[in-house]
Amino acid sequence: MKQHLSNTPGPIGVFDSGYGGLTILDKIREVLPEYDYIYLGDNARAPYGTRSFEVVYEFTRQAVNKLFDMGCHLVILACNTASAKALRSIQMNDLPGIDPARRVLGVIRPTVECVGEISKNQHIGVLATAGTIKSESYPLEIHKLFPEIQVSGTACPMWVSLVENNESQDEGADYFIQKYINQLLSKDPQIDTVILGCTHFPILLPKIRQYIPEHISVIAQGEYVAESLKDYLKRHPEMDAKCTKNGNCQFYTTEAEEKFSESASTFLKQQISVKHITLE
């Protein structure tokens, strides 16, 4: 069904299945504070990491359509699972019919582009959700740019729950953080760079650093995605012109507003107001 979309400039849309995308939004706003943003969290149906490709694609497509309806010409999928399982299908199959001038970008490619410079010995590890690991998006993207790099991945099924339930700094978190790091390093003891392939994981950084050897670099995605977006807008002035710049940010969630506000303050270190929204 063809949407009747306005050509009036609008905010940049940032979508995540939960709260993790707030770590991306935070860095984007640091680098590009003058732009307007709409953050949409599908918290009621999170987490996406364990869901099938079909379901993640359908949910992500609904969110992208909603953000387009709200005036966004550019949408960032600030979710690795959505980027892994839905981005390509939306770009190739949906955008041509919706509006070929609109754009949807993910978080995996910008993260991958930096690893060639960071890794010294070409051995990289990825810690992510089960869905992202199963999709093999990171090895595929890395090998497109750096065929010689060896990539090992480990799924961390408990980490998102630790973050979403504000347990990330509790003692109980240590067991699961150490467990998955040890699993990854046992696959390839030569790893010198680890990608946190889930936007929730930077919240766990203090504990992750405790259990990862000092010589290993840890890549959190926010700054790389933010710099990549800045570069994208510079290279595409026609898209930049469609993005409003009043320094505003609106928040929407499919969950209860109070719950989102409470958890979002953990990620953003500030109080926010949020509105409820329905996706279908």
Using one digit for the tens of pLDDT, what is the confidence trace for 80-126?
Answer: 999 999 999 999 999 999 999 999 999 999 999 999 999 999 999 99
Is 119 known to sit in a ligand binding site?
no
pLDDT for res 269: 80
Give the rounded percent of residues in the chain with a pLDDT score beyond 70: 99
Give me the domains of the chain, ranges plus CATH numbers.
12-106+223-276 (3.40.50.1860), 109-221 (3.40.50.1860)
Higher pLDDT, 232 or 7: 232
Q: Is 244 annotated as a binding residue?
A: no
- Give residue 169's pLDDT band: very low, low, confident or very high (50, 70, 90): confident
pLDDT of res. 1:
44
200 is known to lie in a ligand binding site = yes
Largest CA-CA distance found in the chain, in angstroms, rounded: 54
- Is 17 annotated to bind a ligand? Reply is yes
Active site residues: 79, 198
Q: For 9, how many CA atoms within 13 A lie in the half-sphere containing its CB?
A: 13
pLDDT at 194: 98
The reported pLDDT for the residue numbered 3 is 60
Q: What is the pTM of this model?
A: 0.92
Check whether 81 is labelled as a binding-site residue: yes
Q: What is the pLDDT of residue 55?
A: 96
